[in-house]
Amino acid sequence: MPAPQKIIIDHLLIAQHASPLGPLWSTWTKHGLFQLNWQTPPSNHTQRETQAPNNQAESLDALLHDYFQGQKVAWHELVLDPTDWTPFTQRVYRHCLEIPFGSTVTYKQLAALAGNEKASRAVGAAMSRNRILLVIPCHRVVSASGNLQGYSAKGGISTKHLLLELERHGHWPQDLFAKT
């Protein structure tokens, strides 16, 4: 597997990772993984070299490769940058990280785990602002009825459905990559 493509911008490390749903981009700060998503990072920054070494981009690349092969992965070895997260959001994300691979919890259940069972809407808002997709598995959070609701990543609810199917069955749906 080739090493992730890297760009260093203003003390940020930006790496591109292959995925079956299109390239993923990770942004790293000195505090850890700041962002992981399918949106191309802005290119309006002046590039300059930095001495911020980060071998975690390679670790993330290997984890993503395994994940997209349908394997259960442990994201816990990655250091996450919690900059701008409120204490409630930190609790929500910490408990979201504990949702087992292939399982789901409701927004209300996650709110209760985070210390306020009446804060399901606040949990939904935290999930919609999740900037570290897959690692903080907001796709595993569903409505009280069990229905899929909202996913801010590329493809929306369809992507959320595909990720849950991958986790539950260990492979992509047969027709996902069929040529039409």
- Residue carrying the six token digits 């796709």: 139
Find the helix packing angle between 87-96 and 120-128, rounded to 10°: 80
- Nearest CA to 155 out of 41, 25, 18, 22 is that of 22
Q: What is the DSSP letter of 80?
A: B
- Residue among 63, 119, 138, 153 flagged as catalytic: 138
Which pair of structure tokens corresponds to residue 45? 């920054």
> Can you tell me the distance from the alpha carbon of 163 to that of 116, in angstroms, rounded to the nearest whole number?
28
Tokens representing residue 105 in the block: 């919890």
Active site residue 138: yes
Which residues are tagged catalytic? 138
